Structure 1
Amino acid sequence: MFFINRILNFMLYPGARTIVTAQSEYQRFRTLGKSPKIHFEEAYDGQPIMLLALYQKGRLRPDLIRLIKTARAQGIYVLGVNTLKLKQPEELRGLVDCYIERPNFGRDFGSYKTGFLHLFTRRWEGTCPRLLMLNDSVFYSEKRLPKFLEDMMTSDIEVLGSTENFDIEHHMGSFCIAIGSVVLRHKLFKKYWKNYRLTDVRPTVIKHGELKLSKVLKRCVTGLDQFVALYSASRYIEAIKTDRELMDFAIANVRTSKIFAWKRASLKNVAVEFRDRYAIRKEDPGAFTKGVEVSSHEYFEEVYLENFDALYTYIKDVLKAEDINIYDLHNLVVAELGEGFLSGSQVHQNACILLETGLPFVKNDGLYRGIFSLEDINRISTFIEPDEASELLALLVSRPYGGRYLTGWKRAAFEAGLI
């Protein structure tokens, strides 16, 4: 059945691409001549700005209200741009400083463009010391927000992403990037937003939005050390080298979904690699002069291991050694966890680890994309407050895995990453 579905999706792909493109162009036509509506705007006085791209209908999600309140408490001017419509926009007065609703076309980058062009028209970039661009594609956890916003907005780094991504090419996740004044005023940055062409086609938004934005930001910074992520892979790897508790936490909280092919770190991989380097069979007299391959099933019985100390003790017992090279074993575990952290989209791949280390949000499409399993969601829920866990669960399961629940051309479009 799996291969039949793959063949069917392959056959449907050209039609799916045509439908998705046609829908985007139809929406472009429908929104021609329609302009964003500024519902209200408070005076701006040179404070840091949070540009929040929204896709909210009727009312704001509770986690977004908590985010905005936290930002306001830190003296941040909140500029909200919504692609949909709220029932009572005026209710946001006193919460949001400037609220704009725009025609429903262009996804999150359309909202970003509206927000930045508004900022440039008002010439706020001339006095804004720092801007944080965020969107509602993530669920925000209140407990971690104050320190996170402070870290992002008080840093001297010219472009500070929350997390990075090595898929396709290195870039910052566009759902959260802090930008310094030198970049906000840069002519290339302004030119990018003025020339950005809206589309609803997801791969095009990724290519000309998220990926190209990172390229432009790299050109605007004064040095490569000014384009980094707060929760970078290098920070994580350095941390697990010296923090045994964090290492054990990472071992116990690896992503469990098997749908996506991204690497999932495993102590079994470490044990096999260690065996291949050091283990030989005593009864083989030629073992020192010729390579002897020993399968992991032949050499290791299956036991339950959930931390580094258990792995160390187990391998030592199996090899019947008074001691083993703990330094080498430690390095293997660090490498295994580091490679798992780097694989794919880091914010999806490492949700529990990032929450544990301070990141205040979880990606909303984790279940839809097949990156989270329900087990992953239940585990993530244990690291946030119970009321937030209920909100997050409802949000995630409202979009179940598209590769299972979508049909026809939509299934083919999903499999190809078009939607």
Structure 2
Amino acid sequence: MSMIDEAVQLLQELVRNTCVNPPGNEMKSIRSIASYLELHDIEHDVFVTASERGNLFAEIQGTGEGPSLMLGPGHVDVVPVEDESKWKIPPFSGEKKDGFIWGRGTVDMLFMVVGQVVAFTHLHKEKFQPKGDLKLLIVADEEAAGQYGAKWMVENYPEKVKVDYLISEMGGFRMGENHFLYQYGEKGGTWLRLTATGTEQHGSMPYKADNAVEKIANAILRLTEYKAPVDTTYVRHLVENLPIGIAQKKLISNRLTVNKAIDVLSNTDLEQAKLIHALTRMTISPNLTSGGTKVNVVPGEAYIDIDVRSLPGQDREYILKTVREALGDLAQDIEIGPVPEQAGSEPSYGNASDIDTPLVDTMREVLKELVGEESCLVPLLSPGVTDCRFFRQKWNSQAYGFSLFDDKLSMGEVMAMIHGPNERISIGSLELTVKGYRRIVEKFLS
């Protein structure tokens, strides 16, 4: 069986394992990967972190002459499917059709996991001797807080997973014909609960009632209308390398004109407009609300849970200050606190690695080798949170998101599939990614 046939088969198996988080049950896919490694006589460790949850680690020890590199952390948990009727192909079938493997998690990030595992396996089979340690880490629980996955490994087995460089998710998206994104950093995510109190009374006489829902409704309006301060530092890294005109680059890079540029862009490319908006400010999204006990009772309490995404350098104090600023005079009647403990509720803050390092140079070389000399690697600050943060924060590891997409789908189409319906990855993208990881390791650690 060829390397790509192995990759297709393993990807289909991981999709069918249905490791939806919650509850996760990632051990199904950890066992699948362990079995694959065992077929090739590769030693590995499996760490059980909770019932049917766990992580896998393998290593090819280096000669000590170079830096260490990790393929991973790659997560095998996937998000739930809200409405299967919106899918053209059943979301956990792993069906191969029209040159694609269909299923939840194929893009986020099972095809990358498979690429890491298969590349590592074939390097091991060929007795590749790296200058620095080559590590493989496959984890649970990225779609929540990582407490059973990457975070757990960093806290409990630092001697195994401490690393100089790593390659994980959120990269490889193709913008235009030959521009490919790599993730060098990410925004932070903080979930806050805003609570208002009122006075319960009969709903038949609402005149001048002290209504908690009314207060929260007004708070939602303030938050959605708030114009957060603009910072174009991170979008400049992106647009400097994009195939757009000089005038448009200047408009997007200038904090005084970027909002107008986003409005214009949204008419032709909404997904890119959303991305540029997210990269130029802290965002506040009111996503969950509840209040009241009965339709004929003026509510005594109501709340809104908000999802705050902060840029690097914006800490908790800055976030709270900004939320209060958005609420204005309503802040005196609103209690601000964390969302009660649940999966994913632990805050994270923006973090980034260096944009240019020897590993980035190697990624650029491999991109040109596999796709063409005219191809260009473009740095991206991810608007979403990844497991890279644990390694940047603990050891200042140089952590990057990288894979390779072919030209079968646009970046907008791919972005819409992440956590959405009809998620699928082309077999061409899977093959490019397997080859890409393998060549990066060979060039970087030789």
The TM-score, its normalising length taken from structure 1, stands at 0.24
In terms of Rg, which structure is larger?
Answer: 1
Higher strand share: 2
Where relative contact order (Cα < 8 A, 6+ residues apart) is larger, the structure is: 2
